[in-house]
Amino acid sequence: MEKMLTGIRSTGTPHLGNILGVIIPSVSIANKKKKYTSFIFIADLHSMIQIENIKEIKDNTYQIAAAWLAFGLNTKNCFFFKQSDISEVTELAWYFSCFFPYQRLTLAHSFKEEIKKDKGRISVGLFTYPILMAADILLYNAEIIPVGKDQLQHIEITRRIASHFNKKIGKKLFILPNAFLQKETMSVLGTDGNKMSKSGKNWINIFSEENILKKQIMSIRTDSKSLEEKKDPKTNYIMSLFRMIANSEKIDTKYTEGRYGYLEAKIGLYEHIIHKFSKERKRFFSFMKKKSLLDDILYSGAKKAKNIAMKRLNYIRKNLKFNSII
Which residue of 4, 5, 17, 127 would you call a contact of ligand ADP, by CB under 6 A? 17
User: Which residues are near ligand TRP by CB under 6 A?
Assistant: 5-7, 9, 43, 46, 133, 136-137, 145, 147, 151, 154
Of 8 and 57, the one with the shorter C-beta distance to ligand ADP is 8
What is the C-alpha separation between 195 and 193, in angstroms, rounded? Answer: 7
Return the ∠ at Cα 243 (arms to 238 and 247), rounded to 5°: 125
Return the ∠ at Cα 177 (arms to 165 and 31), rounded to 5°: 140
Of 18 and 216, the one with the shorter C-beta distance to ligand ADP is 18
Strand intervals (E) in the chain: 2-9, 36-43, 79-82, 144-146, 178-180
What is the C-alpha separation between 58 and 62, in angstroms, rounded? Answer: 7
CA 45 to the chain's CA centroid: 14
Nearest to 172 by CA among 319, 59, 35: 319
Task: Tell me how many helices (H) and strands (E) the chain has.
Answer: 15, 5
CA 47 to the chain's CA centroid: 12
Non-local CB neighbours of 251 within 8 Å, separated by 6+ positions: 233, 239, 242, 260, 265, 268
State the binding partner of 145 from ligand ADP, ligand TRP, none, CB within 5 to 8 A by kind. ligand TRP
Of 65 and 265, the one with the shorter C-beta distance to ligand TRP is 65
Nearest approach, Cβ of residue 255 and ligand TRP (Å): 33
Nearest approach, Cβ of residue 10 and ligand TRP (Å): 10
State the binding partner of 137 from ligand TRP, ligand ADP, none, CB within 5 to 8 A by kind. ligand TRP
State the binding partner of 266 from ligand TRP, ligand ADP, none, CB within 5 to 8 A by kind. none
Q: Kind and range of the H or E element at 166? A: helix 152-169
Of 6 and 84, the one with the shorter C-beta distance to ligand TRP is 6
Nearest approach, Cβ of residue 171 and ligand ADP (Å): 30
DSSP string, 94-126: HHHHHHS-HHHHTT-HHHHHHHHH-GGG--HHH
187 binds ligand ADP (CB under 6 A): yes
Of 5 and 305, the one with the shorter C-beta distance to ligand ADP is 5
Nearest approach, Cβ of residue 143 and ligand TRP (Å): 12
Instruction: Determine the size of the site formed for ligand ADP (CB under 6 A).
Output: 20
Of 25 and 233, the one with the shorter C-beta distance to ligand ADP is 25
Give Rg (Cα) of the chain: 21
Nearest approach, Cβ of residue 309 and ligand TRP (Å): 14
Contact 5, 26 (CB under 8 A): no
Of 86 and 316, the one with the shorter C-beta distance to ligand TRP is 86
Tell which positions 116-155 bind ligand ADP, by CB under 6 A.
147-148, 150-151
Residues that bind ligand ADP (CB under 6 A): 8-9, 11, 17-18, 21-22, 147-148, 150-151, 185-188, 195-199
